[in-house]
Amino acid sequence: MNSSVSIPGAPAAPAGSAPPLWQQLQAAAQVLAAVRGGQSAPVALLEVDASLRPGVRALVYRVLRWLGQAEALRRKLAPRTPPPLPDALLCTALALVWRESDAPYEPFTLVDQAVEAAKRSPAMRPQSGFVNACLRRFLRERDALVEATAQEPLAHWNHPRWWIERLKRDHPRQWQDILRANNLQAPMVLRVNERKTTRAQVLQALIAINVIAEEVGEHGVLLGRALPVEDIPGFADGHVSVQDAAAQLAAPLLLDGMDRSRPLRVLDACAAPGGKTAHLLEHAGADAAIDVTALDIDPARCERIHQNLDRLGLSARVVVADAQEPSAWWGSAVERRPFDAILLDAPCTASGIVRRQPDVRWLRRESDIGQLAIVQAALLAKLWPLVVPGGRLLYCTCSVFRDEGDRQIEAFLAHHTDAVLLPSPGHLLPRHGADAGGVRENLPRDHDGFFYALLHKRPG
């Protein structure tokens, strides 16, 4: 059978041109195997043929959201772990078909095409009979098998056990809400560049192409359905950028309340790919005297900063350097004067953006939290002396783990008596639209998980 099936969430293909489902399942299994081997899904997807990539991405991200359930079912069907690639194909199929109410394909079609994928792959052909037997058994015994795995934490929550236990300790009242939100697909949110347009104009342009949208936060627009960036009205002209509503809080938090009647020196440390750098410039306004330095250690990612700023018609000093080593760039690439404001978007586990990047939960190890916390503490210690007395530093991470958030700041304040914590959001837990009950005042109703702490340096 050579069935061609459209993939939910992927751009529509011309009639008759959709690749066969077996081919997409093959590619999805290869991406899942790469993720299990430690590679991020976006990087692994670059190895997929461009004609297949949109559909395979939609498949893979759905599989990663339900991988815990799929792995639990596979253990019931085959207690001995198969070789990596056939196991990835089997788990891919199980993740897509286990919940019949919203399965993206007819179960028998998917099983047929998964077996076809195994038969057509030299690496999986010897296991094609095994894949067929497991999936046919699943179709016969679906309800009993799902019931048998229902109480397993990995299957129920689709997160590693250590992650679940960590959330229970860090957020004893909200841990279940966090996990539920993580398993939902994040919406696309735009940030409006108010130097070039208005939110009303952006909303009108979206209505013109039959996209339902609404205001979110101070500068954002939440789309009813995701679009390829090339199809977003005004994107190429720099009218909008793609940025989650929680990330859009950084620029206002850092700049609001500062005296902008005089020139401001601002550092965006760990700046790539440049979304927050651009928002600092947009939020300051065209008339503000603001000198922004965007710093990142990765030359390729610094090129992304340049590209984003060019598209938006903005200008900043972009420096390739390690923020942990100010002696290497402060006074050479950057004038040796303190900064009025520093934005430190520190490297972290990315545990707050799991609904947007579902591979994160399977890539991280619990030991990563402590290792990253050391890096975060070092960055805070190295950058704090670069803040002018009376200035401020905004520390943020896209993490829900307290060791990367409030515990990090508690330790910093205990050792820096010249630092004062100003009113800050603290930990923002992921919220999903209409399910976001108990939303805090003045915060968007739909956002990723984030942490913010605004620190003021005492004068004199």
Active site residues: 398
How crowded is residue 111: how many other Cβ atoms within 10 Å of its Cβ? Answer: 20
What are the tokens at 49? 């043929």
What are the tokens at 222? 């939440």
Rounded to an integer, what distance in angstroms lies between the CA atom of residue 369 and that of residue 371?
6
Task: Answer yes or no: are the C-beta atoms of 186 and 223 closer than 8 Å.
Answer: no
Q: For residue 429, give Cα distances in angstroms to 32, 51, 178, 211, 410.
A: 27, 36, 7, 27, 19
Which residues are paired to 190 by β-bridges?
221, 242
Selection from 342, 397, 354 nearest residue 372 by Cα: 397
Rg value, the chain, Cα: 24
Q: For residue 411, give Cα distances in angstroms to 69, 373, 388.
A: 38, 11, 21
Mapped onto helix, strand or coil, the DSSP state of residue 323 is coil
Residue 451: which H helix or E strand, with range?
strand 450-457
